[in-house]
Copies of this chain bind each other. A is one copy, B any other.
Amino acid sequence: MASQTPIQSQLESSNEKYASTFTKGHLALPPAKKYAVVTCMDARIDPAAAYGIELGDAHIIRNAGGNAQDALRSLVISEQLLGTEEILLVKHTGCGMLTFDNATAAGLVRQNLGDAGVKELARFAGDFQTFADLEAAVRSDVEFLKGSPLIPETVAISGWIYAVETGKVRKVV
C-alpha cells in the first residue's frame, strides 16, 4: 500500500467523527424522493446544503460542467433500475467550462502528457464539453435530455443556475 498523504489522513480523521454519530444506516437503496440532480464537480458547490437534499432522497451526479451527456449512463440507471422520475440539472456561474475551450485543453494535454495523452482523448471523443454561454448551455442540456430516447417522456426535467457568489439558485427552464 502506498504511503499515506495528508489528504488521506484528513479523510480518515474526519470520517471517524462522522461515523461516530451516524444514525442513517437504515436508508433504502432507491432514492426516497425519486429524483436525480445533475450538477458540476466545482469545489464551491455543496448540493446537499445548497439545493436542500436530505440524505437518502436523491441521486446526485456531478461532473465537469454539470454535463447531461456525460451523465446519461448514470441517469438511465437512476430511472430504469432505481425508480427516479424527475431530473434537476444545475449549472453555475463562474464555471471552469466557461473559461477555456477544447483547443486550449487539448493543447495543455499535448504539452504536459504528450502524444500518448492526446491519443487517449478519444475515450471521450476529444470533447471536453466546454461552453461559452451559461444559460444557453442549461437550455441545450435540458433539450438533450428531453429529446433522448433513453429518458422517458414522463420524466420532469428542469434547468437551473446556481450563483457561487451568492449561494442563490434560479430556474432557467
- Chain A contacts to B: CB under 8 angstroms: 1-2, 5, 7-8, 10-15, 17-19, 22, 24-25, 27, 29-33, 35-36, 41-44, 46, 48-52, 55-64, 69-74, 76-78, 80-82, 86, 88, 94, 96-97, 99-100, 105, 108-109, 112-114, 116-117, 119-121, 123-124, 127-129, 148-150, 152, 156, 158, 160, 164-169, 171, 173
Q: Number of copies of this chain in the oligomer? A: 2
| CB-defined contacts of A51 to chain B, threshold 8 Å | 11, 14-15
| CB-defined contacts of A166 to chain B, threshold 8 Å | 19, 22, 25
12 A-B pairs whose Cβ atoms sit less than 8 Å apart in the complex: A1-B171, A8-B156, A11-B51, A19-B167, A29-B94, A43-B58, A44-B56, A64-B78, A70-B70, A70-B73, A73-B124, A116-B149
